[in-house]
Amino acid sequence: MDYTENTMMDYAENTTSLFTDLEEDPFNPYEYEMSTQEKNYHFVIEYLATTIHMLLCVAILLASSLFFYAFCKFKNLQTRTNYILLHFYICITTSSVLFTIILILEMIIVVFSNHRGIMVLMVLTFGFVNASLVLALLLAQDWILSASNTRFAQKCQDCYKWMIGSVYLLILSHFIFFFIGSHHDEAAAMSAGSCCLVYLINGIVLIVFNVIRYKKTFSEESKQILYALNVASVYYLMSLPPLCFVLLGIVVPLQTGNSYDFIAIMACITYFLEFISFSAPVVIVYLLPRWDKNFKMAFDQVFKSAIRKYQQVDNNLEV
């Protein structure tokens, strides 16, 4: 056996050992084979997460319905700030429902094996999340413009309808880039990246506005719509944990001995943090009556009228 044959045999052995190590690599999603127990654990985690998301989605729809009903019924709520708040609620409610649908489809991916359909829903979800971030920024901007009584501020307030229209064009742009591009995964990644960029800008602006809020004394009229800044801040803070954790998972190298336990812990923490941001609409509806007397009167009247109708029906049944 000459030198060339020995070299080829050594190369074949090294190549075989290389692919053997690759198959045992738990962090390679294309080669790693999970055991039956690990698959069962993953299924239980996904099932519980989907169930909790569906329950939260029902709560979000109920809270949003209450907000929409109060907004449409009471004329004292139909202001410029609340008009922006209404579209903000439409976007965050739609993104929450779409995210729940994506989770359900991922649960039945064996039956519904349409990867393109899920990617379309994902891009649409990112579009509505991006729109809700921009509308939260418009809410905070509306407060600061109302606080400063200048001509430039009044001109900016007059074109708020055009700003809201541009937000929906932003959602449409996500669709256009998705269908024009040949790589749908890259389009979804670009949509997620744009959300992170808008989120970063949103955070910087909200920090500046909150510093101005506590450093400067404003009139009583500007304090009446202070809830606009509060809503934007609450939505930002509740969306901060999952974003930080995702960035942490990207930055920190996944080097650990027990791979499955690490992945399971990461999944549980991710789901828990998603629940925090997912329940933001319910929390905002709960806090709105505390921040604004008009919302308090509207919600009280809605509940009192419902209780009054229930008591009338109950009394008629007793008679």
What tokens appear for 21 in the block?
Answer: 């190590």
CA distance 46 to 267: 9
| Residue written as token pair 């989120």 | 199
Nearest to 243 by CA among 206, 203, 208: 203
Residue 22 lies in a domain: no
Between CA 282 and CA 60 the distance in angstroms is 6
Distance CA 250, CA 188 (A): 17
Residue 10 falls inside a structural domain: no
| DSSP H or E segment with residue 38 | helix 36-73
CA angle 209, 298, 146 (to 5 degrees): 25
Per-block mean pLDDT, blocks of 10 residues, the chain (319 long): 49 43 42 60 74 86 91 86 91 86 70 63 82 89 77 66 79 72 64 78 89 79 83 88 59 48 64 79 92 89 72 49
Q: What is the CATH number of the domain that holds 57?
A: 1.20.1070.10
Q: What is the pTM of this model?
A: 0.75
Query: What is the rounded radius of gyration, in angstroms, for the C-alpha atoms of the chain?
Result: 26
pLDDT confidence of residue 55: 86
Whether 301 maps to a domain, the answer reads yes
Residue 279 lies in a domain: yes
Read off the tokens for 183: 């790589």
Residue with tokens 């919600």: 299
Token reading at 301: 């009247």
- Do the domain assignments include residue 69? yes
Residue 316 lies in a domain: no
First-to-last C-alpha distance (Å) of the chain: 107
Express the helix, strand and coil content of the chain in percent, nearest 5 each: 85, 0, 15
How many structural domains is the chain composed of?
Answer: 1
Query: What are the Cα distances from residue 228, in Å, to 36, 67, 205, 269, 284?
Result: 50, 15, 14, 30, 11
Phi, psi of 293 (to 5 degrees): -70, -30
Would you tell me how many other CB atoms lie within 10 Å of the CB of residue 145? 20
- b/e code 233-263 from CB counts within 10 Å (16+ = b): bbbbebbebbbebeeeeeeeeeeeeeebeeb
Nearest residue to 209 (alpha-carbon basis) of 145, 160, 292: 145
Range of the domain at 300: 40-308
Residue 275 lies in a domain: yes
The answer to whether position 18 is within a domain reads no
